[in-house]
Amino acid sequence: MKKQILVTCFIAGGLARAVSVNAQGAAPFSANNKTVKVIVSEKVAGYKFTPTETLQFKDSPQPAETDVSVFVDPAKSFQTMLGIGGALTDASAETFYKLPKDKQKEFLTAYYDKEKGIGYTMGRTNIQSCDFSSSSYGYVKEGDADLKTFDISHDKTYRIPFIKAATAAAGGKLNLFVSPWSPPAFMKDNNDVLHGGRLKPEFDQSWANFYVKFIKAYEKEGVPIWGLTVQNEPMAKQTWESCMYTAEEERDFVKNFLGPTLQKQGLADKKLIVWDHNRDLLYQRASTILEDPEAAKYIWGVGFHWYETWTGAGQQFEATRRVHESFPDKNLIFTEGCIEKFDIAKINDWAIGERYGLSMINDFNAGTVAWTDWNILLDEKGGPNHVGNFCFAPIHADTKTGSLIYTASYYYLGHFSKYIQPGAKRISAVASRDKLLTTAYQNPDGKLAIIVMNQTDEKIDYSLWIKGKAAKTTSLPHSIATLIVE
């Protein structure tokens, strides 16, 4: 017998009634009379979001040790999916407007259409220039600490129209967060928007005011802003736009300037995200900031990237798990990732997609609520980029021919964003063999979306097992599958 609890619900008019629910607050899930639709993308046969079979459940009270299984328990639910998306940078916008109109439409459909595309619902963009801009630029004149010359005219040519087009393609709503790469040069101790440097203390308030100016200017142009990060990669001295903060410096800037300024200016509803850098220092940064209640009260979540691999190490998923365990009241959001060092000869490399699948499964299983890729579109050179820091994107445009090139990462991202809806609850899922990676969600309509990824060269027969019922299938080599239980 299922354990049930009695909940007293107060409803309009002051009436109360008792409702019987299970310990997770919902009716128990049963696989009886359910089918499983299997949708696959893989390396060899050319499957791309291809429905391959429909499975039936059969009684399976106890799997054998020799059986390979993916165990899913909808009775155990965790974080709510906020959304998945990509960054709408200057480089993406400029490349988009080099495409012919029919390819622009194809591109927007591919990313944002919920049926024909992969249904992106999140976005990120830069405050002033970043490496993925054609040149460095700013919004105020040199020395203008009062921001009287603040002007976003630069962005009205490509980036703002691009963001509006993407938002319209997404059905009119896109959760967009914004990130600065550097304050103006005169506000920094190196007098340069490039090469790191630090914000001078005398400009703390002026810089906090700058975020407000940007958000209000964009919203005046019809681009709603959902959230913001304090600083892109605050521990990296880059050849491009960058600015460094220690954990204590970021904490104190949020506590004493940015947090209070957002509140005073009527922007307390904007989701404020700290760190926005790699997983390797994630716990140190999060603990330093969030253990200060006067800073933590302003903070919605902690953002992270995946470039800790620059050291030659792997992705540090344990850091993400420790932050979620230690600060469960704050949100984890993946704010940037891409495959670096663009090489057109590798444009069809399937491993590009597998890097995404590995990260997304582990990040979501660690408690992450949203996942945002880097540039949503780049050209055939992996740019434009004003410092030669060329990278891969899920879709590239060949601006010479006007064609679009879809990389494997587009399909791997889509196996999550297309089938796991905002509002879905992550549920317990685990494979009995480490050759299969898995995560699972229950969508708001009650259907289950289970991701199963196979990075090996082997076909792996396995059963999807839910509460004494099992459906048998095969995971193809180098594949990612979404299993929809309905």
The residues annotated with a catalytic role in the active site are: 233, 336
Structure tokens at 63: 């799997």
CA distance 364 to 373: 14
- Cα atoms found within 13 Å of the Cα of residue 53, Cβ hemisphere only: 9
Distance CA 296, CA 288 (A): 10
- Distance from C-alpha of 170 to C-alpha of 429, rounded to nearest angstrom: 30
The residue count for the chain: 486
Asked if 233 and 305 count as a contact pair (C-beta separation under 8 A), the reply is yes
Tokens 């601006």, located at residue:
399
Three-state secondary structure string covering the chain: CCCEEEEEEECHHHCEEEEEEECCCCCCCCCCCCEEEEEEEECCCCCCCEEEEEEECEECCCCCCCCCEEEEEEEEEEEECCEEEEECCHHHHHHHCCCCHHHHHHHHHHHHCCCCCCCCCEEEEEECCCCCCCCCCCCCCCCCCCCCCCCCHHHHCCHHHHHHHHHHHCCCCCEEEEEECCCCHHHECCCCCECCCCECHHHHHHHHHHHHHHHHHHHHCCCCCCEEECCCCCCCCCCCECCCCCHHHHHHHHHHHHHHHHHHCCCCCCEEEEEEEEHHHHHHHHHHHHCCHHHHCCCCEEEEECHHHHHCCCCCHHHHHHHHHHCCCCEEEEEECCCECCCHHHCCCCHHHHHHHHHHHHHHHCCEEEEEEEECCEECCCCCCCCCCCECCCEEEECCCCEEEECHHHHHHHHHHCCCCCCCEEEEEEECCCCEEEEEEECCCCCEEEEEEECCCCCEEEEEEECCEEEEEEECCCEEEEEEEC
CA distance 298 to 435: 41
Structure tokens at 247: 């954990």
User: What is the CB neighbour count within 10 angstroms for residue 129?
Assistant: 24
